[in-house]
């Protein structure tokens, strides 16, 4: 189950053969994660809220992603953005992240996500475009109740939302090094600083933890071992979305009963492949499988050694 409270409608203008092309898709972190999980052959139930004119357009696009859609219909407030990429760069024309979910919307969405998360056995908690759209407490309560009733919880969050789910307890957390630095959890992007941040995430409620480092290999805390994740080198087309694809790959393998080591390899491969493509959360399972065989997990230290 992917919990994505406030997906967005994305409109992108591109250039093909001398003519402009319009692309309309669902977007947002949870959408990109669900898309990659489906690419890896795992069924996804997608829990979200949407409404108004934008929501009316967004709903069939979400269904077309191949997910089982569990939707709370709002009166209005669904976010959107329009980007122009005709010259190869990304220019923002207009953007509206949406309006905050009401208490009624959140109550309805919580019920759907709890039931479907427990049915699925593995839940991914994705973020929103604007942290003010959903109160951190909603994430904390959902994470706590899912785990208390036997559901594995994977979170890819930042800021106050990350702190809330850590307080509830998590099976796996993925966070970028930029987010750790911004939150004051790491002083810089050095390996020592990020290893210390991994240990702190464990102490604060994470079972296992991953830190993505943009073009550099990720770091992982699995059990008592800290690992450097050496990913295949590929030529990037769009650097965005690698972290979301990594989270999706990890969740997909865990949902199928795989080990966390194999999950991290698949997540790293999914992230590496995603940056070679223009569509976020996309990638063919065969390519990801081949790349995963080339991902190296090198021991950096153990928790005891770093204590």
The pLDDT profile of the chain, 307 residues, written as one tens digit per residue, is 999 999 999 999 999 888 999 999 999 999 999 999 999 999 999 999 999 999 999 999 999 999 999 999 999 899 999 999 998 888 999 999 999 999 999 999 999 999 999 999 999 999 999 999 999 999 999 999 999 999 999 999 999 999 999 999 999 999 999 999 999 999 999 999 999 999 999 999 999 999 998 767 899 999 999 999 987 776 554 555 577 889 999 999 999 999 999 999 999 888 877 656 544 444 578 888 888 888 999 998 665 554 4
pLDDT of 216 = 73
Find the angle CA(221)-CA(223)-CA(227) to the nearest 5 degrees.
Answer: 35
- Give the contacts of 222 (CB within 8 A, at least 6 positions apart): 208, 260, 261, 264
Cα–Cα dist 222/227, whole Å: 8
Cα–Cα dist 150/207, whole Å: 14
Find the angle CA(40)-CA(225)-CA(203) to the nearest 5 degrees.
Answer: 95
pLDDT of 284 = 72
Q: Kindly report the pTM of this predicted structure.
A: 0.91
pLDDT of 153 = 98
pLDDT of 307 = 45
Instruction: Specify the DSSP element, H or E, that contains 176.
Output: strand 170-176
Give me the domains of the chain, ranges plus CATH numbers.
Answer: 1-168 (3.40.1190.20), 174-307 (3.40.1190.20)
């Amino acid at each position: 189950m992917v919990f994505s409270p406030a997906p967005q409608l994305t409109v992108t203008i591109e250039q093909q053969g001398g003519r402009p092309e319009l692309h309309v898709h669902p977007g947002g972190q949870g959408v990109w994660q669900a898309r990659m999980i489906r690419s890896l052959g795992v069924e996804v139930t997608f829990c979200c809220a949407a409404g108004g004119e934008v929501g009316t357009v967004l709903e069939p696009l979400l269904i077309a992603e191949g997910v089982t859609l569990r939707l709370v219909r709002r009166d209005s407030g669904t976010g959107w953005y329009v980007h122009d990429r005709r010259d190869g760069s990304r220019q923002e024309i207009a953007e509206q992240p949406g309006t905050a979910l009401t208490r009624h919307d959140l109550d309805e969405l919580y019920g759907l996500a709890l039931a479907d998360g427990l049915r699925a056995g593995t839940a991914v908690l994705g973020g929103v475009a604007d942290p003010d759209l959903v109160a951190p407490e909603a994430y904390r309560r959902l994470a706590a109740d899912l785990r208390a009733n036997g559901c594995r919880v994977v979170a890819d969050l930042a800021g106050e939302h990350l702190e809330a789910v850590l307080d509830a307890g998590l099976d796996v957390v993925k966070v970028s090094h930029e987010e750790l630095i911004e939150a004051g959890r790491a002083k810089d992007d050095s390996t020592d600083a990020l290893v210390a941040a991994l240990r702190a995430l464990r102490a604060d409620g994470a079972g296992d933890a991953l830190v993505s480092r943009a073009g550099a290999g990720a770091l992982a805390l699995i059990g008592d071992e800290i690992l450097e994740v050496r990913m295949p080198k590929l030529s990037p087309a769009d650097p965005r979305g690698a972290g979301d694809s990594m989270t999706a790959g990890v969740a997909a393998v865990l949902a199928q009963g795989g080990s966390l080591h194999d999950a991290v390899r698949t997540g790293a491969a999914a992230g590496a492949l995603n940056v070679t493509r223009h569509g976020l959360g996309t990638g063919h399972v065969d390519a990801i499988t081949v790349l995963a065989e080339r991902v190296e997990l090198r021991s950096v230290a153990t928790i005891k050694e770093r204590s």
